[in-house]
Every structure is written in C-alpha cells, then in structure tokens.
Amino acid sequence: MKQRCFWAQHESMHDYHDREWGVPVHDDRLLFEFLILEGAQAGLSWATILKRREGYRKAFDNFDFNKISRYNEEKRKELMNDAGIIRNRLKIEASVINAKKFIEVKKEFGSFNNYLWGFANNKPIDNKIKSFKEIKASTPLSDKLSKDLKKRGFKFVGSTIVYALMQAVGMVNDHEVSCFKHKEVKR
C-alpha cells in the first residue's frame, strides 16, 4: 500500500492527491482553474469543491478565462441557479473579475505562469514536511503574492487561499517526506 500524506488517507482524495496536488502546473488554463476553485473553497472543504469540479468546468466554459471575462448579468444569474457549483454571488462575481485581471497579467508578463512562478524563482520550494502538523496555512511568500494579486484587483486571494493555490499547482512541495509523491514531485 502506498504511503500518502495524512490529509489524503480517505479514498475520495486519493486520485487528486496522487495525480494533481503538488505537481507543478505551468499551463495558464489550468492555473486559472485552480485560482477559481481555490477561491470557491473559501469557508468550505476541498472535498466539497472536488465533488463539484466537473460542474464548475461545465458552468464556467472549461475555465476559459477569455469567455468568463465577458460574462454578463444574465450569465451570472444563470450561474446562481446552477446546482453543480457553489452558488455564492460574491464568488461568482470574483470569478469574472479574476478572469479580467488574469488576462491583464498575461499581457504584462507574457503568461500568468511567468507571473505566478516568478514569486518562487521558477522552481518548486521543497518544505520537507515530516508531519502534516508542520504545514502552514500561509507563509511570508503567500502573503507577498496575495498582496500583489489584491493590488492588481483580484478577489478571494487572501494569503491562506493563495497558499492553497501554491500547494495545488506545485509551487511548494508540501507532500510529507514519507509520502510516495514527495520524491516524485521533487524531481
């Protein structure tokens, strides 16, 4: 049996842990997907969001930030009635705003990937976690990134959400060193 991170012991989390969490992501569409999903998670469990991930992909045009940036009031109302996603007006509005800001960052840096990974000097930070108790909710780096995102007009990008994003897209390797993924991601 594979040794996994403590938080991923439940079978429902295996696939996400084993295939995605902490694996470096450089594709702008996928980075945008995680940005929106991490914001949607605020106040909820990640398992709740994972259960609705396909609903989000369908409702949000597979996270096409160009399309989402043009969502009008009618589309936003439609999303408020979509049982496949978290129907929170502020989170839906934030998704549209963040799509617009995402495009602005892409224009400035050539890609959102260049912007985001620049905060980590373009390589994952290995925190060498021995126990899940060592994992932080935020760090000085997530504070810095959060502050910059907010300055640019992004919403639902507090330091805790940003750190969860950094973990999800592999900017930080917070797999426990005893976890089989720690070595795989480290390569």
**Residues taking part in catalysis:** 16, 38, 46
Handedness of CA 43, 35, 127, 119 (dihedral sign): negative
The residues near 167 (Cβ < 8 Å, ≥ 6 apart) are 21, 22, 174
Residue 93's alpha-carbon distances to 99, 133, 154, 163, 164, in angstroms, are 10, 34, 11, 22, 21
Residues 54 and 7: their CA atoms lie apart, in Å, by 22
Angle, CA of 107, 170 and 40, to the nearest 5°: 70
Q: Are 63 and 29 in contact (CB under 8 A)?
A: yes
Q: Are 181 and 18 in contact (CB under 8 A)?
A: yes
